[in-house]
């Protein structure tokens, strides 16, 4: 019977993929059996999904086959859906089998957080996966066809995006670029189209630099976005949304981009969570479970001021690197490394040729920020797939 430790990684998001790739690089031959489990045979770029959702890019450009990233002589890839995590037995139950582990990495990704808003889960769409953005794109295009058959139904041409965080802002930027094209293709009067971005917080992009937020809102307002800031969505119905003191906005399209929680499988495993996220220790481990690591949307870490870090691709990638280091260290009985987030900057796209960003201690906006966003995307491609992936995908991002 083999005594080689078994490492199982659940989820091929940013955290899971970086953990796998680093283990592939750092482990010696036969030092551990590594298995990566994911429900799709591709890894997708969450930070790029707003483009295919709006229809300004193809879904194919937002994903890459896992077989092109990993060395299948070093890492076993299992395409399956996780059904249950049994920590007491050190087993993961899949829809079509069972895996046992000595070390477990949970990077299953988040789920939409609707904050208990009635009807939001049932009636709104979410920018969460390749399949979800494909649905949004087809739905939006279909509304124009429906309007041509029922021209009295202007609600078909009303689009509501809930949430003015990064996902919401980037999506309305792309959608504002796309809607005039759809009007032209379908012979629809552009003045009939309405695009609302609704945010309960007192500002768009909460916590971001106010000067850049103001610039972003000016750019998007000129593109036709109507902002409703400091306005909560009270209910999402089959006919639109109820906001504020009972005002109804009739819309056939509602996209919810206002919150992410962790994964319910972690709660069901008996691990203590806050909104489905685990407050991991400084080494990214689950308290009380030294052999279980959590990365990405499923982890909860606090900055020096005591506020939780937002679940971004940047933090997930850095966690993946530290997680892999600590797994190797555990196997070799070496000291573990404390995770320290190094913020390399933040950039939000505002549609074609426009963005805002904070990086290297400076503020960027307009075309320069858009180039910076592109450079960040290309850097990620290089990290996970080297020059071949940059040459194949770089021109699309």
Residues belonging to the active site: 170
54 to 138, 270, 355: CA distances (angstroms): 9, 38, 17
Which three-class secondary structure state does DSSP give residue 205? coil
Cα first-last separation, the chain: 47
DSSP, residue by residue, 34-80: EEEEESSSEEE-GGGTHHHHHTSS-GGGGEEEGGGTS-TTTEEEEE-
* Number of neighbouring beta carbons within 10 Å of residue 174: 21
Taking Cα atoms as reference points, which of 291, 259, 250, 290 lies closest to residue 277?
259
Q: Which two tokens stand for residue 136?
A: 């949004």
299: tokens are: 């982890």
Identify the CA nearest to 186 among candidates 158, 157, 225, 155. Answer: 157
Sign of CA dihedral 254, 260, 264, 265: positive
Q: Which of 123, 101, 103, 104 is nearest to 114 (CA)?
A: 123
């Amino acid at each position: 019977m083999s005594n080689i430790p078994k490492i199982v990684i659940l989820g091929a998001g940013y955290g899971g993929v970086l953990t796998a790739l680093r283990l592939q690089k750092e482990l010696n031959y036969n030092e551990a059996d590594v298995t990566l489990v994911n429900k799709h045979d591709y890894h997708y770029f969450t930070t790029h999904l707003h483009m295919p959702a709006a229809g300004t890019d193809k879904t194919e450009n937002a994903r890459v086959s896992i077989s092109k990233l990993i060395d299948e002589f070093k890492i076993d890839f299992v395409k399956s859906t996780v059904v249950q995590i049994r920590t007491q037995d050190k087993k993961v139950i899949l829809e079509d089998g069972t895996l046992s582990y000595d070390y477990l990495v949970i990077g299953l990704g988040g789920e939409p957080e609707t904050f208990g808003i009635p009807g939001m889960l049932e009636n709104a769409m979410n920018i969460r996966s390749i399949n979800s953005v494909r649905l949004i794109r087809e739905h939006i295009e279909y509304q124009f066809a429906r309007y041509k058959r029922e021209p009295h139904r202007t609600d078909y041409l009303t689009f509501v995006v809930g949430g003015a965080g990064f996902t919401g802002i980037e999506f309305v930027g792309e959608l504002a670029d796309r809607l005039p094209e759809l009007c032209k293709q379908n012979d629809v009067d552009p003045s009939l189209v309405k695009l609302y971005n609704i945010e309960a917080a007192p500002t768009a992009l909460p916590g971001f630099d106010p000067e850049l937020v103001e610039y972003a809102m000016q750019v998007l307002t000129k593109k036709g976005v109507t902002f409703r800031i400091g306005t909560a969505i009270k209910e999402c119905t089959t006919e639109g949304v109820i906001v504020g003191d009972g005002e109804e906005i009739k819309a056939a399209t509602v996209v919810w981009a206002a919150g992410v929680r962790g994964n319910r499988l972690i709660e069901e495993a008996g691990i203590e969570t806050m909104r489905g996220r685990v407050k991991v220790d400084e080494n990214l481990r689950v308290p009380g479970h030294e052999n279980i690591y959590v990365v990405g949307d499923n982890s909860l870490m606090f900055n020096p001021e005591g506020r939780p870090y937002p679940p971004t691709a940047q933090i997930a990638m850095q966690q993946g690197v530290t997680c892999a280091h600590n797994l190797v260290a555990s196997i070799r009985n070496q000291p573990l490394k404390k995770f320290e987030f190094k913020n390399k900057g933040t950039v939000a796209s505002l549609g074609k040729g426009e963005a805002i960003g904070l990086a290297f201690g400076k503020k960027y906006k307009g075309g320069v920020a858009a180039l910076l966003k592109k450079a960040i995307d290309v850097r990620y491609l290089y990290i996970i797939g080297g020059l071949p992936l940059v040459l194949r995908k770089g021109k699309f991002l």
